[in-house]
């Protein structure tokens, strides 16, 4: 099997890979349908803020309690934990589907279910991130993380395309119900896995001060700290496409759910192509991450300045490629440079930066889109991404020129202090 797909040699990872395509496609179906449901339920002059608020509520638990979710992942058997979180998420999706089918859904129902799903994801996200290492081991981890990102973005093509058709011809409710059913794929894959072929991490015993210890470790390791800060800035200002693309479709280009689905799908298609290229590359460095961030910001600006829809549909493809390259590089950088006993907590901080920043970024971007325009919101995200990435690049070039001197260790075995890059 080629270098690009080498992780698929592992049976357990193959099961997980296929199941994730099904499940995340369902998640994207729900994402598109939920955004359109909010736009239907909200008053027009509040649509941007309400859409941003729903997205924010879904990620608020991650922002507030994400480090606790990471500690749970460090302490618990991740496979068993994923059984519970995937089941709970499926039940919540089914509830929203039934409320919509019965024409009983109200905006506050969407708010409540969003925050409940966010609570589930607070534990699910760091568990899934670190479970990949248990599926493939350290040698194939960079490749597996990138292929996992390819799954997420393949689903971004499949899910919205199906959702657009279903919304147009059947209605919103079936998207939520299909998402509920899609969680069965992951539960089935977990059940079929051969536990003897897993690479389980040592569970961290309960002790006082473990959350503070995780924070001290992350802040005291320059490569981890700077990667997390960059992800937090980009996550807050740039990765709010669920909000801004819906508003761009409706209020800038004056189109419907099909255009929103097309923008989302083309972004996902670009991300799949970018992910396949990234999967064959060597292990990342923080300098490479910063360069990718600059390119990503420039491409967001290109979408923002697109004069007509056709140009935006073309420009969003390379932007999607840069988006996945940025996130998979950040994820791999963190996992390979974090000691085993801290991995769940560090990856929860990554989730806080990337996803937990949404309660701040989504209402802000929704407000900018509503009071100025979605184009201006994209320009803000582009500027923040380029600036933060450039500062990170300058800092780490100085490290390597000897102006600053953090300790540098290329690799370490699990359980030891990891290197800085």
In our burial notation (b when 16+ CB lie closer than 10 A, e otherwise), range 401-413 reads eeeeeeeeeeeee
Does residue 406 lie in a domain region?
A: no
Give per-residue pLDDT as tens, 32-75: 899 889 888 887 667 777 877 887 788 888 888 888 888 888 88
Asked which of 16-30, 278-292, 341-355 is least confident by mean pLDDT, the reply is 278-292
Q: What is the pLDDT of residues 110-151, one digit of tens each?
A: 999 999 999 999 999 889 888 988 898 877 887 887 788 777
Looking up tokens 């099961």 gives 15
The pLDDT of residue 356: 64
103's torsion region: left (phi>0), alpha (psi -120 to 50) or beta? left
415, part of any domain: no
Contact 130, 70 (CB under 8 A): no
Determine the Cα–Cα distance for residues 122 and 363; give it in Å rounded to an integer.
20
For residue 378, give the H/E element and its range.
Answer: helix 374-400
Q: What pLDDT shows up at residue 194?
A: 92
Q: How many domains does the chain have?
A: 1
Give the structural domain span for 295: 3-198+206-400
> pLDDT digits over 349-398, tens only?
888 887 767 667 878 888 888 888 899 999 999 999 999 999 999 988 77
Residue 115 corresponds to which tokens in the numbers above?
A: 């925050």
Sequence-ordered alpha helix ranges (H) in 170-193? 173-192
Average pLDDT over residues 295-313: 94
* Mean pLDDT, rounded, of the chain: 84
In a domain, 391, yes or no: yes
- The dihedrals phi and psi of 172, each to the nearest 5 degrees, come to -70, -40
Q: Please state the rounded mean pLDDT for residues 389-416.
A: 60
**Is residue 185, in this structure, part of any structural domain at all?**
yes
Would residue 307 count as lying in a domain?
yes
Task: Please report whether residue 409 resides in a domain.
Answer: no
Between residues 274 and 57, the one the model is more confident about: 57
Mean pLDDT for 222-239 is 90
The confidence score (pLDDT) of residue 400 equals 64
| Lookup result for tokens 């496979």 | 79
* Cβ atoms 37, 105 nearer than 8 A: yes
Any idea what the CATH number is for the domain that residue 283 is in? 1.20.1250.20
pLDDT band at 280 (very low <50, low <70, confident <90, very high): low
pLDDT at residue 117, as a whole number: 95
The answer to the question of residue 421 being in a domain is no
Residue 163 included in any domain: yes
- Mean pLDDT over 96-112 rounds to 93
């Amino acid at each position: 099997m080629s270098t690009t797909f080498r992780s698929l040699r592992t049976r357990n990872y193959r099961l997980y890979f296929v199941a994730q395509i099904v499940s995340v496609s369902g998640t994207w179906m729900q994402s598109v349908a939920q955004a359109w449901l909010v736009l239907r339920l909200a008053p027009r002059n509040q649509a941007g803020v309400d859409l941003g608020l729903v997205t924010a509520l879904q990620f608020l638990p991650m922002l507030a309690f994400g480090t606790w979710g990471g500690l749970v992942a460090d302490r618990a058997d991740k496979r068993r934990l994923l059984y519970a979180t995937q089941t709970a998420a499926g039940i919540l999706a089914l509830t929203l589907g039934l409320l919509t089918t019965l024409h009983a859904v109200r905006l506050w129902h969407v708010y409540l279910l969003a925050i409940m799903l966010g609570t589930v994801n607070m534990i699910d996200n760091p568990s899934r991130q670190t479970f990949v290492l248990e599926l493939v081991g350290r040698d194939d981890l960079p490749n597996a993380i990138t292929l996992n990102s390819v799954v997420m973005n393949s689903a971004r093509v499949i899910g919205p395309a199906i959702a657009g058709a279903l919304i147009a011809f059947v209605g919103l409710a079936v998207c939520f119900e299909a998402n509920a059913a899609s969680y069965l794929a992951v539960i089935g894959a977990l059940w079929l896995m051969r536990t003897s072929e897993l690479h389980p991490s040592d569970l961290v015993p309960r002790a006082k001060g473990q959350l503070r210890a995780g924070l001290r470790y992350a802040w005291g390791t320059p490569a981890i700290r700077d990667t997390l800060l960059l992800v937090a800035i980009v996550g807050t200002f740039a990765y709010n496409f669920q909000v801004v693309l819906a508003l761009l479709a409706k209020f800038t280009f004056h189109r419907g759910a099909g255009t929103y689905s097309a923008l989302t799908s083309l972004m996902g298609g670009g991300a799949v192509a970018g992910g396949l290229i990234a999967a064959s590359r060597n292990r990342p460095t923080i300098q490479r991450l910063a360069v990718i961030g600059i390119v990503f910001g420039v491409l967001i600006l290109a979408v923002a300045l697109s004069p007509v829809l056709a140009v935006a549909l073309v420009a969003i493809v390379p932007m999607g490629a840069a988006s996945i390259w940025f996130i998979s590089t950040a994820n791999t950088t963190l996992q390979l440079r974090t000691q085993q006993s801290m991995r769940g907590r560090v990856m929860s901080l990554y989730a806080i930066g990337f996803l937990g920043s949404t309660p701040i970024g989504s209402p802000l971007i929704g407000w900018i889109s509503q009071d100025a325009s979605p184009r201006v919101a994209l320009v803000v995200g582009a500027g923040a991404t380029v600036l933060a990435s450039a500062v990170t690049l300058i800092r780490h070039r100085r490290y390597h020129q000897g102006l600053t001197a953090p300790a540098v260790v290329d690799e370490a075995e699990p359980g030891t202090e990891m290197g800085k890059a």
